[in-house]
Amino acid sequence: MLGNINAVANLAVKDLGAARRFYEDTLGLSPADTDCEGMIAYRSGNTRINVYQSSFAGTNQATAVTWAVGDDLERVVAALKAKGVSFEHYDMPNTTLTGDIHVMDKMKVAWFKDPDGNILNLVNE
């Protein structure tokens, strides 16, 4: 029923101004819609990410958004690091850490957080 319909990620934030600076200036996303009070919709490829103000911001402790960046993983990690993004390091079975990139066989992943602690990641798929 929903297999051919694009999905939208929703991220709760406390400070919409700080989130705007992070998602636009640091990650380079472009606003798709700012007409809704308390929310900014961003374009990311052919999808959208809704960033909205909520008192529940920062309570999710799981990955909220994944970007599949393919062979550009190392370049994107370096570019974000140059903009001040700190990457998370997790102790996971059958995983080695190479710099800020977790390597699991052929899959490579780098995790980071937005200003409200939403966990975001980049993957080489």
* Claim to verify: residue 51 and residue 19 sit in the same structural domain: yes
Nearest to 14 by CA among 53, 47, 46, 45: 53
In this predicted structure, what is the pLDDT of residue 79?
A: 97
Q: Checking DSSP bridges between strand 96-98 and strand 30-33, what pairing results, if any?
A: unpaired
CATH code of 75's domain: 3.10.180.10
Asked whether residue 14 is domain-assigned, the answer is yes
**Cα 89–chain centre separation:** 15
Question: CA torsion sign, 93 to 69 to 85 to 45?
Answer: negative
Asked whether residue 1 is domain-assigned, the answer is no
* Claim to verify: residue 21 and residue 51 sit in the same structural domain: yes
Q: Domains in the chain: how many in total?
A: 2
pTM confidence score: 0.92
SS3 of 70, please? helix
Nearest to 122 by CA among 114, 112, 12: 112
* Claim to verify: residue 43 and residue 21 sit in the same structural domain: yes
* Claim to verify: residue 42 and residue 84 sit in the same structural domain: no
CB 59 within 8 A of CB 119: no
* Claim to verify: residue 71 and residue 115 sit in the same structural domain: yes
- Domain range enclosing 24: 7-55
pLDDT in tens, 74-118: 999 999 999 999 999 999 999 999 999 999 999 999 999 999 999
